[in-house]
């Protein structure tokens, strides 16, 4: 098992991001989209981020356009939308694929560590959430319909 915090991803500007910067923190990793019915979850994600940041918690957003073309923008448009519409302060990384041959290695590992119902690996839609403990292991996976506030108790138990 690879610790999530040993992996590399791309920042929104395309530069390399080393997730070791989040080592020792509790993480909520989410595939996001700006034009989805679940997009208002940005509000709850930001509330969690602000509430628990000083206790070692971070939300990490990864835009994805694989579900209904609901994240069509480029990095600048996504950043502008997140900031202007939802006052997002948590990191939003480069747009990625979460399923298929081009799936980002981060999400390949997350799906392996925290499979879905009946062991399924595929992510079904935008705003699937993975809770990662302080050791860098994905300990739970939440459906897009799970509201951020419904995860709060699980986050608290890991902090």
User: Coil, strand, or helix at residue 74?
Assistant: coil
Supply φ then ψ for residue 64, to 5 degrees: -145, 135
What is the number of other CB atoms lying within 10 angstroms of the CB of residue 80?
Answer: 13
User: Coil, strand, or helix at residue 62?
Assistant: strand
CA distances from 83 to 21, 89, 113 (A): 22, 7, 31
In sequence order, the β-bridge partners of residue 140 are 131
Supply φ then ψ for residue 127, to 5 degrees: 70, 30
Whether 36 is a known active-site residue: answer yes
**Annotated active-site residue in 36, 64, 123, 131:** 36
Supply φ then ψ for residue 104, to 5 degrees: -60, 140
User: Coil, strand, or helix at residue 15?
Assistant: coil
Instruction: State the DSSP H helix or E strand holding residue 28, giving kind and residue range, or none if neither.
Output: strand 26-32
Catalytic residue numbers read 36
């Amino acid at each position: 098992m690879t610790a999530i915090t040993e992996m590399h991803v791309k920042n929104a500007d395309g530069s390399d991001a080393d997730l070791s910067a989040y080592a020792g923190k509790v993480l909520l990793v989410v595939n996001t989209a700006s034009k989805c019915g679940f997009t208002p979850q940005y509000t709850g994600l930001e509330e969690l981020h602000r509430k628990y940041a000083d206790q070692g918690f971070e939300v990490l957003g990864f835009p994805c356009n694989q579900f209904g073309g609901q994240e069509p923008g480029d990095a600048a448009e996504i950043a502008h939308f997140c900031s202007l519409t939802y006052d997002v302060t948590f990191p939003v990384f480069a747009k990625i694929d979460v399923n298929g041959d081009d799936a980002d290695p981060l999400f390949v590992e997350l799906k392996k560590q925290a499979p879905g119902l009946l062991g399924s690996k595929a992510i079904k839609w935008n705003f699937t959430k993975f809770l990662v403990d302080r050791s860098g292991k994905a300990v739970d996976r939440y459906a897009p319909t799970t509201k951020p506030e419904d995860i709060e108790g699980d986050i608290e138990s890991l902090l």
